[in-house]
Structure 1
Amino acid sequence: DAVVDISGVSTGDRVLDVCTGTGEMVFLLAKKVGLNGEVIGLDNCPDMLRIAQRKTKLFTDSFFPSERISFIDGDALALPFSLNTFNCVTTTFALRNLTDISKAVEEMFRVCKKNGRVICLEISEPANPFLQAGFKLYFHRLIPLLGRIIGQGQKIKEGYPAYTWLSKSLNGFPQGKEMARIFAEAGLKDITYHPLTGGMVTIYFGVKK
């Protein structure tokens, strides 16, 4: 996984995954921190956290002591941790769903230790015209259509129909240099961003100096 590879997470590290969902990133990171490390997944969706907890039992029976992995209900805009707590803070495909992206990055910066890393993986629009056309067709046409067919009118965030929110959340979402600026304004240094899969996703990286 690209996030794990770029994270620099090593044995004994303490790591936080923000908006963890069902915890996939937590389990990947847990393999890196080892028996002396700790990984915490935070989310504000109880249903997602219940799934993550069920998966934890399977994972810890095979790979990892259960006390080194935990999931908590919490707000990405007000992380329930002290300054300088984690060696690395990650989030994947979540910032675009938050009401205040800058605040979320500031919070991730705050809870990082000195020389800790903040890493975000997000959907992005490709620069290549051909890939861009396919991207727009898929996210702005096909996914909303599928939502109407199989979503049966279900409403999700801000009252949008199921699957329509994904395309709505991409409109105006900061990408590339704009996201790097948000990282810098939060206080992060050594900021880089790397487009992946033809630019359809981008990984953002910064260090707390």
Structure 2
Amino acid sequence: MSKADLSKQPAQVAAMFDQVSTRYDRTNAVLSVGNAALWRVATTRAVAPRAGETILDVAAGTGTSSASLARNGASVVAADFSEGMIEVGRHRQADNPFVRFVQADAMALPFDDDSFDAVTISFGLRNIVDPKKALAEFYRVVKPGGRVVVCEFSQPPLSPVRAGYSAYLKFGMPVLARLASSNPAAYEYLMESIQAWPDQRSLAGWLREAGFERVAFRNLTAGIVALHRGFKPESTAPADSEPPASTVPSEGE
């Protein structure tokens, strides 16, 4: 059984996800204590997909998030680096005409500039060796006026929550991983990568560095997860134009 380390070498990460692909969604549901479905709903609402739009779902895994994004008639390109994940996803979404799988490196996306109405990534940015380079790619391929949404593990702002979550990662999650996963060692990497990941404001800063405007974030599950969103400048729109209030994350800088 393989386990990536914090150098996040692409071949290691891909091999690790290949090995967990068949039981990945079930394991996520167990390790998140059922919250994975709620985080997916929140992400879909933040993306706010509309019929006829084209959306890029990066690190889409088995396509569970892509199917949620496509529910209202948007066309979703489900991109992932792991061949095993894509194989499982293609089988599970075989009857879904709105989801198309593509093997792709997030740091060198095989798409033209200004191709997508929205780009989103859930729990995948943390696994990329150079996340800033990936954000630059998201900026390149999204259309002017389009949006990026990042759902990722983060740092709970309240110290009691941080302490409890750290204890869960160290003691609780390994037990559950041994029960639910086909590769428990892979979830040691999960714990390490979560603990090493920057906080909400740092990620918001990365999005601004990539060129996104109106960057905002809100915490989910007391900050265990954070949902970030930003917009690519629209050259024909006033600089102070705002998106519909109902779709904007409610917490930010």
TM-score class, shorter: 0.7 to 0.9
Shift of 1:141: 2.5
Contact 1:17 1:26 in 2 (8 A): yes
Shift in Å at residue 203 of structure 1?
A: 0.2
Q: Offset at 1:73?
A: 0.7
Unpaired runs of 5+ in structure 1?
A: 61-65, 156-160
Using structure 2 for the length normalisation, give the TM-score. Answer: 0.72
| Aligned residue runs from structure 1 range 118-157, under 5 A | 118-147=148-177
In the TM superposition, residue 151 of structure 1 has moved relative to its aligned partner by 6.7
User: CA offsets per residue over residues 98-145 of structure 1, 9 Å max, x none?
Assistant: 100101111111100011101000111212222212210111232235
Superposition TM-score, scaled by structure 1 size: 0.86
Identity %: 32
Give the distance between the partners of 2:92 and 2:215, measured in 1 at CA.
33
Q: Residue in 2 aligned with 1:203?
A: 227
- Superposition RMSD on alpha carbons, in Å? 1.8
Structure 1 equivalent of residue 203 of structure 2 = 179
Task: Tell me how far apart the structure 1 counterparts of residues 60 and 150 of structure 2 sit (CA, whole Å).
Answer: 12
Gaps of 5+ in 2: 1-40, 234-253
* Whole-angstrom distance in 2 between the partners of 1:41 and 1:193: 24
One-letter code aligned to 1:108: F
| Count of aligned pairs | 193
Separation (CA, whole Å) in 1 of partners of 2:131 and 2:80: 15
Q: Is the 8 A contact 2:156 2:162 kept in 1?
A: yes
Whether 2:154 is the aligned partner of 1:111: answer no
Q: Which has the higher strand share?
A: 1
Equivalent AA in structure 1 for residue 49 of structure 2: V
In 1, the alpha carbon distance for the partners of 2:119 and 2:178 equals 36
The one-letter code sitting in structure 2 at the alignment partner of 1:124 is S
Separation in 2, partners of 1:147, 1:21: 18
1:77 counterpart residue number: 107
- Which of 187, 194, 199 aligns to 2:218? It is 194
Structure 2: how far apart are the matches of 1:5 and 1:172? 28
Distance 1:151-1:199 versus aligned 2 partners, 3 A rule: closer
